Structure 1
Amino acid sequence: MASVTSLGIGSGLNVEDIITSLMKVENRPVESLQTKAAGINAKISAFGALTSAMSSFQSAAVTLAGIGTWNAMNGSSSNSSAVSATTSTGASAGNYAVEVQALATAQSISSKSYTSATSSVGSGTLKIDIGNWNSDNTTFTANSSNKTLSVEVTAADTLTTLRDKINALGSGVNASILNDASGARLVINSRDTGTDNGFRITATDGDGTNTDNTGLSALAYDPPNATSATTLRQSGSNAQATINGLPVSSASNTLSNVVEGVTLTLGAKTTSAVSVSISADTDKIKKALTTFTEAYNSLATLLSTQTKYDADSQTAGALQGDSTAVSLQRQLRNLVGASTPASSVYQTLSSVGVTLQADGTLAVDNTKFDTALKSNMGEVRKLFTATDLTNSSRSGIGTQLRKFSDSVLSVQGALTSRTESLNQSLSRNDTETSKAEARVADVEKRLRAQYAALDTKMSSLTALNTYITNQIEAWNKA
């Protein structure tokens, strides 16, 4: 409507009030459609929240029904600083006595003392071979799988720049500078531990002599063939241990799959056996159950809130009476309260301490669940994870709930289909609202045109009436 109008001046009628009153009646279908749209939007929002809650529940059900959760193992040690244990796929329960006779070490050498880290080291070429020294360092056997590493050294190079060039090789060895009371030393270590990861350094010295202690040759390490100012600080060696009396040798202090699915990390020599125990990771199982019940309870509470009528506030949930929501609520309760022949010992969730409450949520008796795990974990596993491809009702409860959540969240599932249907209804409502608003606008335009014509006519009649009245008055005076 126009904010400023002259309608009614000619007729003397309060046209704006008349039109406003008439348009309130005409606008009722639009208001009805808008109210309907608000209801549809509320349902779409509610189903969006249900979809999110169902997705969380699906994820929790997948974990609880997953074999990986129930097959997970946990490693413990009576002396974890000496021997620690971690598990992976394939680990089996067992107990092991581990004794560590020696830790794996990396070869390490140090140069003679230089005035500072910026001291010149000579010029020429250093060649580094990776391989194995014999016990008294009189014989070196290069690994055929490793190529000789070469470092070109110029007269401008110092301990610092030589260190950087060695480290730039990226494999085999690494270098660092150690500063002590006598000056700076170049320290070179094998990157990996073990006897097969030792190294030999030979020099082609720019001063023409490759075997003395001056120039670049002072940094060589090849005891059988030349004397050198470079000193062996530690030989590369393998770790030595026994596991249940079986001798084990390893190039590293990490023993992977010596026991299948178990990684033992050696941290110190021992004087007596360390007890390592591999057992079922019940904490992981209990965490999966806790997450599952929390996700279920969130979903159940949301369904209850959205479908109930609150007598006190006289308000109904957005999904009260919605057949899809009510059906989901009923199916969930039936599944968690059902029995299954998947286990010969535990047929229901309540038999292991997971019970359905009056308000539709689940409660866990941790003591009862722990007892079931300790007494017969295999049957508890069946209750949750068993799968019967021919008859789903014979599958474990966890598997049934996982499949249920998969189905309602699928492309043609109940939640997806209902949300799509509501969006289509909203689209149709928007179209009807636009048409109704157009009809209302046409009616208002027509009314304004009619009242404008009335004003014009009434103005004309008023002017004629005034003329006649004036004429009569003039005649009477004459």
Structure 2
Amino acid sequence: MSSSIITNTGPLFQAGGLASGIDTNAIVDKIIEAASAPMLQVQKTQAAYSVQISVVANLAAKLKAFREAANAVATTGLAPILPSSTYSDFTITGNAASEGEFSVRVEAMARAAKMRSNSFSSAQDPEAVGASGNLQFSIDGTTSVAIDVTGKSLADIAAAINDTISQVTASVISTGSGYRLSVIRKDTGFSTTAEEALQVLQDPGLGLETVQAAQNASVYVDGLQIVRRSNSISNAIPGVTLNLTAQSDVATTVNFVRDTSSAATRMKSFMTAYNDVVALLNQQLRPDPGTASTNNAIAGSFLFSLQRDMHALLTTKVNSSGAIQTLSDLNVALQQDGTLAMDTNRFQKTFAEMVDSDPQSANLIFTKASTGLGALVQKLVRRQVDGSTVDLPGGKKLYVEGALTAETQLLKDNIKSLDTTIDYWKVRLEQERARLNASFRAMESILSRLNDTSTYLNQLYNYTVSKNNNK
């Protein structure tokens, strides 16, 4: 029997083409990445809520700036009556009730009562003071609480006075050669007499003495003397406050004239703040579908309500008669995008002409109590940001938080509620990762055993073939 030669170019037994060198970790990562899609979507929603919270905060800031701009115009009006110059002995704030000329002379400045103690060698050593007993003052004829200063240093006594007596300020003054206790009335002037503004009823060895007597402010307006405890004097000239800065040698003539030239500047400041709010509202209510931020836009009926309230400011009737009854009567109009613009109506008098024609009515558009734009903007911002109190039947009151505050809290609650969903997915994905890793480890174990068997069988086959070939 002739022998035949059998050749073999590779292993006869193989485990389905699989090998233990497979990167199972990469496979698991890809599977988990695909399974993470729902959790990633929830996280994207959370991120959108966070962006919306920032937008709400930005809107609140712009509304507050709008309120400040409205208040600035409401304080003076569009065409206020102001002093024609500045003065060395006083400043003037406010808006005069009418144009005119006044004579002003500051006879005396208001001063606070001051007391000072003897000099002591130390501010911290009680023995340097050696005081024993009670310290007590009389303030405008009213007796203060008695302070026991026994065993106290000068600094301790000053602290005790500040903690106990609210009408004065106490401090320790270093003179370079010693220390003195200083006691000063917080308020200038006096309500009874200069002597009674600050007196010591009981002095336990401090040697307190008056170093400056209290003094009321005295100013002459058109020859009429006006006395006040403070250096801020209101109603001496209707509508304005005189802030005294120095005593006058001679009377000063003050002229009040109406300022219409700056009306446009004041109006433009108001319009800029208004338009900033409207621009942000437009961005949220009509987001550009081509931008990635579309999903970050705020969805809420309060935005439409705010937009309506903003637009209503233009046509709200403030004055019941005359040519200027609303803001739109000043040739201020809404544009297509909801922003304000001036002098767009060519068939109407310009803004400047309208203000010049009736400056008092123009002022009232902003300054009128309750119905002026200053008051209306204040109410609008309070509803949106600050919150307000609503009167209920039976004398009860209900606090309603601002719409933006409520929206912020809602968004925060939404983020918190989604945390639970994300935590669930994290646990589930970790469990799935563990299951897949266990399955691949089991597969690798089986493959390892199959490869061992394959190696053995191939070795046995090769041995048999070799033996038969050698016969």
TM-score, normalised on structure 2? 0.56
1:300–1:360 Cα contact (<8 Å) kept: yes
Partner of 1:237: none
**Which string of whole-angstrom CA distances, capped at 9 and with x for unpartnered residues, describes residues 87-146 of structure 1?**
34695435337599x999xxxxxxxxxxxxxxxxxxxxxxxxxxxxxxxxxxxxxxxxxx
1:46–1:318 Cα contact (<8 Å) kept: no
1:85–1:276 Cα contact (<8 Å) kept: no
Partner of 1:464: 453
Alignment of structure 1 residues 296-315 onto 2, 5 Å: 296-310=274-288, 313-315=290-292
Q: CA RMSD in A?
A: 4.8
1:380 aligns with 2:369: no
1:336–1:397 Cα contact (<8 Å) kept: yes
Residues in 1 aligned to 2:58 and 2:310: alpha-carbon distance in whole angstroms:
19
> 1:47 offset after TM fit, Å?
1.6
1:95 alignment partner, one of 89, 97, 100: 100
Moved more, 278-287 or 452-461: 278-287
Residues in 2 aligned to 1:358 and 1:316: alpha-carbon distance in whole angstroms:
23
1:343–1:382 Cα contact (<8 Å) kept: no
Partner of 1:450: 439
1:406 alignment partner, one of 378, 382, 398: 382
2:79–2:359 Cα contact (<8 Å) kept: no
Letter of the 1:383 counterpart? I
1:303–1:325 Cα contact (<8 Å) kept: no
Partner of 2:409: 420
Residues in 2 aligned to 1:70 and 1:463: alpha-carbon distance in whole angstroms:
97
Letter of the 1:462 counterpart? N
1:307–1:320 Cα contact (<8 Å) kept: yes
Structure 2 counterpart SS, 1:343: coil
Residues in 2 aligned to 1:457 and 1:247: alpha-carbon distance in whole angstroms:
112
Residues in 2 aligned to 1:13 and 1:280: alpha-carbon distance in whole angstroms:
89
1:432 aligns with 2:408: no
Partner of 1:331: 308
Letter of the 1:443 counterpart? E
Partner of 2:158: none
Structure 2 counterpart SS, 1:360: coil
Structure 2 counterpart SS, 1:454: helix
> 1:38 offset after TM fit, Å?
2.4
Partner of 1:190: none
> 1:475 offset after TM fit, Å?
5.2
Letter of the 1:459 counterpart? S
1:305–1:317 Cα contact (<8 Å) kept: no
Residues in 2 aligned to 1:467 and 1:334: alpha-carbon distance in whole angstroms:
89
Letter of the 1:21 counterpart? K
Alignment of structure 1 residues 227-242 onto 2, 5 Å: none
> 1:421 offset after TM fit, Å?
1.1
> 1:325 offset after TM fit, Å?
6.4
2:285–2:297 Cα contact (<8 Å) kept: yes
**Which string of whole-angstrom CA distances, capped at 9 and with x for unpartnered residues, describes residues 13-49 of structure 1?**
4434432332232121122122222222222222221
Structure 2 counterpart SS, 1:322: coil
2:79–2:355 Cα contact (<8 Å) kept: no
2:80–2:363 Cα contact (<8 Å) kept: no
Residues in 2 aligned to 1:315 and 1:50: alpha-carbon distance in whole angstroms:
20
Alignment of structure 1 residues 78-477 onto 2, 5 Å: 86-88=91-93, 91-96=96-101, 98=103, 261=240, 263=242, 276-280=254-258, 288-310=266-288, 313-315=290-292, 317=294, 320=297, 322-324=299-301, 326-328=303-305, 330-340=307-317, 342-345=319-322, 346-365=324-343, 368-387=350-369, 395-411=371-387, 412-474=401-463, 477=467
> 1:277 offset after TM fit, Å?
1.7
Residues in 1 aligned to 2:376 and 2:236: alpha-carbon distance in whole angstroms:
38
What is the aligned-residue identity percentage? 23
Partner of 2:151: none
**Which string of whole-angstrom CA distances, capped at 9 and with x for unpartnered residues, describes residues 175-214 of structure 1?**
xxxxxxxxxxxxxxxxxxxxxxxxxxxxxxxxxxxxxxxx
1:53–1:295 Cα contact (<8 Å) kept: yes
Residues in 2 aligned to 1:242 and 1:59: alpha-carbon distance in whole angstroms:
35
Letter of the 1:351 counterpart? D
TM-score, normalised on structure 1? 0.55
Letter of the 1:442 counterpart? Q
Structure 2 counterpart SS, 1:363: strand
Moved more, 322-331 or 22-31: 322-331
Letter of the 2:382 counterpart? D
Residues in 2 aligned to 1:262 and 1:401: alpha-carbon distance in whole angstroms:
26
| Number of residue pairs matched by the alignment | 331
Q: Which sections of structure 2, spanning at least 5 residues, go unmatched?
A: 1-16, 109-175, 183-218, 388-400
2:73–2:266 Cα contact (<8 Å) kept: yes
Residues in 1 aligned to 2:340 and 2:68: alpha-carbon distance in whole angstroms:
17
Residues in 1 aligned to 2:333 and 2:445: alpha-carbon distance in whole angstroms:
81
Letter of the 1:413 counterpart? G
Task: Note closer, same or farther for the CA distance 1:103–1:399 as it changes in structure 2 (3 Å cut).
Answer: closer
